[in-house]
Amino acid sequence: MNDLTLEIAQDVPALMRGLGQRARNAAAELAFAAPEAKRRALEAAAEAVMARLADILAANAKDMAFGRDKGLSAAMLDRLMLDADRLKGIVDGLRAVAAQDDPVGAVITEWDRPNGLHIQRVRTPLGVVGVIYESRPNVTADAGALCLKSGNAVILRGGSESFHSSGVLVDCLRAGLAAAGLPEDAVQLVPTRDRAAVRELLTMTEFVDVIVPRGGKGLVGLVQTEARVPVFAHLEGICHVYIDRACDPAMALKVVLNAKTRRTGICGAAECLLIHRDVVDTIGQGVVRALIDAGVEVRGDAALQALPGVVPAQDDDWGREYLDMIIAARVVEDIDAAIAHIRRYGSSHTESILTEDDAAAARFFQRLDSAILMRNASTQFADGGEFGMGGEIGIATGKMHARGPVGAEQLTSFKYLVTGNGTTRP
Amino acid sequence: MNDLTLEIAQDVPALMRGLGQRARNAAAELAFAAPEAKRRALEAAAEAVMARLADILAANAKDMAFGRDKGLSAAMLDRLMLDADRLKGIVDGLRAVAAQDDPVGAVITEWDRPNGLHIQRVRTPLGVVGVIYESRPNVTADAGALCLKSGNAVILRGGSESFHSSGVLVDCLRAGLAAAGLPEDAVQLVPTRDRAAVRELLTMTEFVDVIVPRGGKGLVGLVQTEARVPVFAHLEGICHVYIDRACDPAMALKVVLNAKTRRTGICGAAECLLIHRDVVDTIGQGVVRALIDAGVEVRGDAALQALPGVVPAQDDDWGREYLDMIIAARVVEDIDAAIAHIRRYGSSHTESILTEDDAAAARFFQRLDSAILMRNASTQFADGGEFGMGGEIGIATGKMHARGPVGAEQLTSFKYLVTGNGTTRP
């Protein structure tokens, strides 16, 4: 831990301001980099990752040892761990982002005015993005790549557990930038594990344009109280699945099981099942039995406790994010009661209605205002890659600027370009 | 001033939370109001203004008397004053917003995924908008109408000077809502002149989704330090006009004069003129002379002080918003020097290049990142009405969410609607 002691001895505010100034300078240059140069940088970064597989695995072994010493849970260690397969995923991700259309300069809309002015609204980068995340080193590559694609400089502040792995991945991204003649400082990793760095990042309004926090409740709380820089809020994923009266039983079974059990630790996993009272004894019963058979603990309301294996739900089971093989389940009178439950307990992340009734689906889509509303699909699709964005920097649950999976496009703003012919205003 | 004393005696935080809760409830209902109902509400509001012309003028007379007692400047009193002509402008504005396309529910983009999922991104209201503004009562009508159109509830906090005028205008908007069967509390005016109300509005994150501040440096500063609610920043309009080498002399004369003198008190008025060195003795001289002849004080750099009537510019004339018959003027080596000057001293509001050279215009458009960049057009067009938005709630100089003139569309967020056929994630 010698290097950690050294790091803490540094002047963190000065260190962070230095990073901020370098990011600001790099952003000014990257903002009008040619799309081809950014594409080359991302491909060169992918090649660098391939070339440095052994270094990355060695760095990751150091991080894993540190994590074990620190007593990280098995789930946390799994998130931290890199192997050949996961590195291939990182390389594929970099190449997918490279191949995407460049959002910068794209004309979002344009129109003519009666006085002859032609107005275009075109995409422009945000500037400098700060990303604060926890243990997963692949976020380093995803966030770096998406910021680069969208012409933004990025300051990455990964969890202390992934410090070495992220360091080598950032080296690869910077090597890619250098190979394409772009400023390396467009991607920087905070070079200290000192927590004071997070506070600086959250308050450096002159150097950072937006913060993307990815992490648990502790991080989100810190960000909400401390941030002076705008934030793409990423709250919990308290995702609901509602089985409507007019629902196909086989589909319900398949989708609910997938939504809950495919992976329980992601924010798109279903946490609460709502069942229309008319189908409790038919579809509902079958789905609950299948969940229990699959090893899920079903915490049901009074109406469901008659079913074998159902555990009584407590008040605090509504609106709870388990991230585990547990689901809350409740019977509702009708679709409006389902909507009311979701409005009260949801986190505006993702909800799915299972129904063959178009009017019910339309009502669900119109009256709820989560970032993602689904019909006859698993909530586990709440993901930038699954949306076709080639990755995501996070899933925004707020409504300002970005919402849902945040890909390169949502890391841009826009400006108006107005062309006249000597046009003056009367 | 008896009513003022009474107001101050109230419990302002409780009063504001009451407003917030009513706005939140109204917003939930307004969010899925039929487009036709919102249109009817706006037309009924326009009719109510017509029917209550005498009341509005009487209320405005009270405000004018209060303003005179308070010693407001002639310019401030002019902004506060309503007459038949200005009221006609307000009525026309309400009707123009009524006639616009409804942004809510509009499909921004949609696509299919290889697994059969169909994804739509559709517009949804932001929720509750807080507008803090100064003396102009027409902002009451514009802001109220644009929020209503975009399905948002609004809490209006006008300047104390326009208290009575704004009160009657809000009554008209609420009458329109009632006539259309929509919740009246979708438009509320803060019913006290107590300044503590502003602080509450800026920090009620549970009830307010975004603040739009319109006003001078004092208000902007307060908002920047106090706001916990997201803000559409509206900084100064330090607008530049750059006369390029390849510029038509007659056009330069016409556009610069319009940009500076048409109205000096609006944020789109030009405040600084940059002239390419190659055309100083030709176009530059003519433009400077015309400005001086029009009564403008030209504060020039050393290279311009040889011209008759030019006043020497001081260091603090660069980057200054005069809002008056004054312009700073400087000779630049080339377009890159003009760009560098604007980057250093501009406020990212609006800049115009006057040139016949397409490459120069492209460089100006690409390398600058103001909300609005113009070619061969007057900066005075920086206005939501002139952009065809049927009004504006403000001009945003930040880059998060909204930018440039903020009309109904930019008062929306979006949500994703995903349709499958029992689709599960592998």
Residue with token string 């689901």: A327
Q: What is the pLDDT, as a whole number, of residue B8?
A: 53
- Cβ proximity of B242 and B353 under 8 Å: yes
Q: CA-to-CA distance for B83 and B76, rounded, in angstroms? A: 15
Q: What is the pLDDT, as a whole number, of residue A5?
A: 44
A265-293 per-position pLDDT tens digit: 889 999 999 999 999 999 999 999 999 99
- Rg of chain B over Cα atoms, rounded to whole angstroms, equals 24
Q: What is the pLDDT, as a whole number, of residue A4?
A: 46
* A244 close contact with B: CB closer than 8 A: no
- Rg of chain A over Cα atoms, rounded to whole angstroms, equals 24
First to last CA, chain A: 70
Whether B3 shows a pLDDT value over 70: the answer reads no
CA of A353 vs chain B CAs: smallest distance (Å)? 10
- Axis crossing angle, helix A163-179 with helix A53-69, rounded to the nearest 10: 150
Kindly list the residues from chain B whose CB atom is less than 8 angstroms away from the CB atom of residue A258.
424-425
State CA A195 to chain mean position distance. 22
* B128 close contact with A: CB closer than 8 A: no
- Cβ proximity of A169 and A144 under 8 Å: yes
Predicted confidence band at A6 (pLDDT cuts at 50, 70, 90)?
very low
Measure CB to CB from residue B111 to each of A388, A415, A419 and give the nearest one: A388
Whether B223 shows a pLDDT value over 90: the answer reads no
How do B326-332 and B270-276 pair as beta strands? parallel
Nearest to A209 by CA among A159, A142, A150, A135: A150
Kindly list the residues from chain B whose CB atom is less than 8 angstroms away from the CB atom of residue A262.
424-425
In single-letter form, the type of residue at position A167 comes to G
Token pair, residue B141, equals 């009508």
Kindly list the residues from chain A whose CB atom is less than 8 angstroms away from the CB atom of residue B369.
31, 124, 415
Token pair, residue A404, equals 């849902």
Q: Cα separations (Å) of A81 from A76, A283, B393, B408? A: 9, 40, 50, 47
Residue range B252-271: mean pLDDT, rounded: 96
Whether B235 shows a pLDDT value over 90: the answer reads no
Please give the ipTM for the structure prediction.
0.92
Residues in chain A: 426
Residues 405-424 of B with CB under 8 A from A: 413-424
Interchain proximity B381–A425, CB inside 8 Å: yes
* B399 close contact with A: CB closer than 8 A: yes
Measure CB to CB from residue A415 to each of B373, B415, B421 and give the nearest one: B373
CA of B400 vs chain A CAs: smallest distance (Å)? 6
What's the mean per-residue pLDDT of chain B?
A: 93
Measure CB to CB from residue B127 to each of A366, A399, A419 and give the nearest one: A399
Token pair, residue A229, equals 């820089």
Per-position b or e across B330-340, b if 16+ CB within 10 A of its CB: bbbeebebbbe
CA of B12 vs chain A CAs: smallest distance (Å)? 24
The sign one gets for the Cα dihedral B18, B22, B27, B28 is positive
In single-letter form, the type of residue at position B365 comes to F
How do B395-396 and B404-405 pair as beta strands? antiparallel
Q: What is the pLDDT, as a whole number, of residue A238?
A: 95
Burial (Cβ within 10 Å: 0-12, 13-18, ≥19) of residue B69: exposed
Whether B263 shows a pLDDT value over 70: the answer reads yes
The sign one gets for the Cα dihedral A164, A165, A170, A172 is positive
* A199 close contact with B: CB closer than 8 A: no
Q: Cα separations (Å) of A310 from A289, B110, B129, B304, B357? A: 9, 40, 44, 85, 75
Q: Cα separations (Å) of B214 from A66, A248, B125, B130, B234? A: 52, 53, 21, 11, 7
- Cβ proximity of B96 and B88 under 8 Å: no
Predicted confidence band at B9 (pLDDT cuts at 50, 70, 90)?
low
Interchain proximity A32–B366, CB inside 8 Å: yes
Interchain proximity A416–B126, CB inside 8 Å: no
Determine which of A37-41, B72-76, B190-194, B268-272 has the lowest per-residue pLDDT on average: B72-76
Kindly list the residues from chain B whose CB atom is less than 8 angstroms away from the CB atom of residue A230.
230, 400
Whether A44 shows a pLDDT value over 60: the answer reads yes
Residue range B72-101: mean pLDDT, rounded: 92
Element (H, E) at B16: helix B12-30
* A62 close contact with B: CB closer than 8 A: no
Q: What is the pLDDT, as a whole number, of residue A60?
A: 97
Kindly list the residues from chain B whose CB atom is less than 8 angstroms away from the CB atom of residue A105.
366
CA of B270 vs chain A CAs: smallest distance (Å)? 13
Phi, psi of B353 (to 5 degrees): -105, 135
Phi, psi of B94 (to 5 degrees): -60, -40
Q: Which residues contact A219 (CB under 8 A, 6 or more apart)?
A: A132, A134, A213
Predicted confidence band at B181 (pLDDT cuts at 50, 70, 90)?
very high
* A375 close contact with B: CB closer than 8 A: yes
Interchain proximity A423–B378, CB inside 8 Å: yes
> What is the full DSSP assignment across A46-104?
HHHHHHTHHHHHHHHHHHHHHHHHTT--HHHHHHH---HHHHHHHHHHHHHHHHSPP-T
State CA A229 to chain mean position distance. 18
Whether A34 shows a pLDDT value over 50: the answer reads yes
Q: CA-to-CA distance for B150 and B187, rounded, in angstroms? A: 12
Determine which of A45-54, A84-93, A215-224 has the lowest per-residue pLDDT on average: A215-224
First to last CA, chain B: 70
Q: CA-to-CA distance for B290 and B307, rounded, in angstroms? A: 12
CA of A350 vs chain B CAs: smallest distance (Å)? 9
Nearest to A349 by CA among A224, A236, A260, A255: A236
Phi, psi of A55 (to 5 degrees): -60, -45
* B400 close contact with A: CB closer than 8 A: yes
* A107 close contact with B: CB closer than 8 A: no
Predicted confidence band at B190 (pLDDT cuts at 50, 70, 90)?
very high
Q: CA-to-CA distance for B173 and B26, rounded, in angstroms? A: 14
In single-letter form, the type of residue at position B96 comes to A
Whether B1 shows a pLDDT value over 60: the answer reads no
Residue range A30-50: mean pLDDT, rounded: 97
B304-352 per-position pLDDT tens digit: 999 999 999 999 999 999 999 999 999 999 999 999 999 999 999 999 9
Kindly list the residues from chain A whose CB atom is less than 8 angstroms away from the CB atom of residue B424.
254-255, 258-259, 262, 377-378, 380
* B261 close contact with A: CB closer than 8 A: no
Token pair, residue B104, equals 């809510």
Whether A367 shows a pLDDT value over 50: the answer reads yes
Whether A226 shows a pLDDT value over 60: the answer reads yes
Q: Which residues contact A298 (CB under 8 A, 6 or more apart)?
A: A273, A288, A291, A292, A304, A307, A309, A310, A311, A327, A329
Q: CA-to-CA distance for A57 and A82, rounded, in angstroms? A: 7
* A75 close contact with B: CB closer than 8 A: no
Predicted confidence band at A244 (pLDDT cuts at 50, 70, 90)?
very high
How do A118-125 and A412-423 pair as beta strands? antiparallel
What's the mean per-residue pLDDT of chain A?
A: 93
Kindly list the residues from chain A whose CB atom is less than 8 angstroms away from the CB atom of residue B413.
399-400, 403
Q: Name the 3-class secondary structure at A273.
A: strand
Predicted confidence band at A103 (pLDDT cuts at 50, 70, 90)?
very high
Q: Name the 3-class secondary structure at B351.
A: strand
A129-160 per-position pLDDT tens digit: 999 998 789 899 999 999 999 999 999 999 88
Interchain proximity B380–A424, CB inside 8 Å: yes
B107-125 per-position pLDDT tens digit: 999 999 999 999 999 999 9
Interchain proximity A416–B378, CB inside 8 Å: no
Domains and CATH numbers, chain B: 2-104+127-234 (3.40.605.10), 239-386 (3.40.309.10)
Which 3-state string (H, E, C) describes B31-98?
CCCCHHHHHHHHHHHHHHHHHCHHHHHHHHHHHHHHHHHCCCCHHHHHHHCCCHHHHHHHHHHHHHHH
Measure CB to CB from residue B420 to each of A32, A111, A375 and give the nearest one: A375
In single-letter form, the type of residue at position A196 comes to A
How do A350-354 and A372-377 pair as beta strands? parallel
